[in-house]
Chain A
């Protein structure tokens, strides 16, 4: 247990929809190791943002949250809001997509970092100022001394995200949850910010949970990756394995939709092997069968009969009956062949 930064078991976040509780995050379990970068990938409506918020006890008030979140022998899910005040920012910090919304427009960057330092550390005003300056330098602010006096609106999107990171680091957290930290940024700036997160993780020994819709941004920056679909983990694997041999048909589909230019260059106009349909709305999740089945090119009889659990899929786990040792060989033979040789070897059904 010593090497675990966070251990999450059966986390559920339910929202009330037309009088019924519906699980937007539906029994998610995972371990985040010390110093590890774990990617959480999913499309809109997969529950990834609610998951990130729930880990910090920031789920919306009207939501019902259950499950355990354990950190160093403590059950965080049992903390009072008062106790959370020190955990949030002090042990686990959050950065998200819109730094502009997180930063106070009428306060300088310096005073916002100072406020975060005062909340979590005891130090003299002089020391605090020095720490603030060092934090801006650490996130590669071009001119930290000047940056302290800048107002958010004077900064580019990339610098705003760096300032937001400096504030998040002010409490010396051990875990950083980054929810779509680069989505609003230009491509070159986004790559810079991801590399900065890498460096902070190495230098500070941080554990990073990178929540994103973009498989491309986990590829070089996360050790392991979870794929969410309709509120559930459908695949978990080492990132390199996930890209080399995706197991779940949804992961395979997502990879086929990722525009990429290989080292050999481009090939000009060509279609994607797109996944048909869309992620089902919370109110329309198919119950009692695989939630991905209606869109799945590989679906076969068991998918309609019950919900799959996470099965061992060799290099990771996948929520798919193709990997169920109990699936009769005759059914498997009738279904699509299991492809472990990379994405998109067959066109997705229409």
Chain B
């Protein structure tokens, strides 16, 4: 029954929203936030999902967490048809898949102590007796590097990094197998972000966790992910092992993203790839390859035909007719 080595398998999920023009305008048309997206995450593996505003990366995370339902497509999680679960079964299985959001300021309840927030999922899921709760909360706080006395304090008494640690402790309470992390370090200072990334890597090693790590920042994702998928306007345009993708991007959009990462080495050989124009609206995507109006190497074919996501190199997928052609090397 559980033959698949993948913990999570997403197949062709699509999510659209109605678009209204003007305040009282009737719905006219639909915006495709996520367009036939497929990927898999193995046990103990981290997949980085990278994209800019409007790429659909956050919607992907919400669909997997079942905070929203896709219009079509399938999601298999831990050997089960994840979208078919409902009621009590869904509630029970949610233990295995938890979410961490960008801003712990808004995802934590300001009126509840840190201890009560970490204890809540334990209570709701009926995982430990009342007597054991306190010990388990202290254990969870210790696991994320907080002292036991943190349990009696309120979110406002913590720094941003500590609040994110509380949110992680809360997500870990049900001993999940999979965490969806949506921009978990984007609102943190660099030194604190580094601490949180280290914590996530430690937790993964200790508990065999798998992550879907969603971020706009390719450099951070490269630090934590085994594989990276790059999204543009609702579609995955490139996917591959993190180190290889960062060393040799195949899709021109990945090349542009990579070239925007500052390279402090004095001998930097990287030149910036400047994209033409503004990111198009997902409500009105260009025909053919959605990236073609901004692509430095677009040709007539790209205007007419959408390139499928296909194997460009062993283990590497790219949705481009000319993969690897654009490089960001100076003078290259």
Contact = CB atoms under 8 A, between A and B. Distances in A.
A219 B218 contact: no
Contacts of B260: 187-188, 190-191
A191 B272 contact: yes
A257 B223 CA distance: 11
A281 B197 CA distance: 23
B219 A260 contact: yes
Interface string A247-291: 000000111111111111111111111111011000000000000
A345 interface: no
B323 interface: no
B272 A274 contact: no
B121 interface: no
A43 B191 contact: yes
Contact of A265 (B194, B220, B223, B248): B248
Interface in A179-200: 186-192, 195
A337 interface: no
B160 A186 contact: no
Nearest to B294: A188
B285 interface: no
A146 interface: no
B132 interface: no
From A189, A192, A259, A274, name the one whose CB has the most chain B CB atoms within 10 angstroms: A259
Interface string A223-245: 00000000000000000100110
Interface in A32-76: 43-44
Contacts of B329: 263
Interface in B91-149: none
A156 interface: yes
Contact of A254 (B191, B226, B261): B191
Given A43-B190, A186-B53, A271-B198, A259 B220 contact: yes
A258 B268 CA distance: 16
Given A216-B262, A266-B246, A266-B247, A272 B222 contact: no
Interface in A186-220: 186-192, 195, 213-217, 219-220
A93 interface: no
B255 to A, nearest CB: 11
Interface in B190-211: 190-195, 197-198, 201
A126 interface: no
B189 interface: yes
A158 interface: yes
B215 to A, nearest CB: 10
From A43, A263, A267, name the one whose CB has the most chain B CB atoms within 10 angstroms: A263
A159 interface: yes
Contacts of A265: 243-244, 246-248
Interface in A100-158: 142, 156-158
B265 interface: yes
Contact of B265 (A188, A213, A262, A275): A262
A220 B260 CA distance: 11
Contact of A269 (B160, B161, B223, B248): B223
A279 B192 CA distance: 10
Contacts of B191: 43, 253-254, 257, 274-275, 278
B190 A266 contact: no
Interface stretch (B26-34, B275-283, B299-307): B275-283
Contacts of B247: 264-266
Interface residues of B, number: 57
Contacts, number: 143
B52 interface: yes
B242 interface: yes
Contact of B197 (A186, A272, A279): A272
A261 B218 contact: yes
A268 B262 contact: no
B160 A266 contact: no
Nearest to A257: B194
A43 B195 CA distance: 14
A188 B257 contact: yes
A263 to B, nearest CB: 4
B264 A274 contact: no
B46 interface: yes
From B241, B258, B260, B269, name the one whose CB has the most chain A CB atoms within 10 angstroms: B260
Contact of B258 (A215, A240, A261, A264): A261
B225 interface: yes
A271 B201 contact: yes
A159 B279 CA distance: 11
A188 B276 CA distance: 11
Nearest to B227: A268
Nearest to A265: B247
Contact of A261 (B192, B197, B261, B274): B261
Nearest to A263: B269
B272 to A, nearest CB: 6
Contacts of A215: 190, 264
A269 B270 CA distance: 22
A274 B195 contact: yes
Interface of A: 43-44, 142, 156-159, 186-192, 195, 213-217, 219-220, 240, 243-244, 253-276, 278-279
When A and B form their complex, which 6 residue pairs have the shortest distance between CB atoms, in order from nearest? A265-B247, A266-B246, A272-B194, A216-B262, A257-B194, A186-B52
Given A158-B278, A266-B222, A278-B159, 9 more contacts: A186-B53, A187-B217, A187-B218, A261-B246, A263-B329, A265-B247, A266-B243, A268-B225, A275-B191
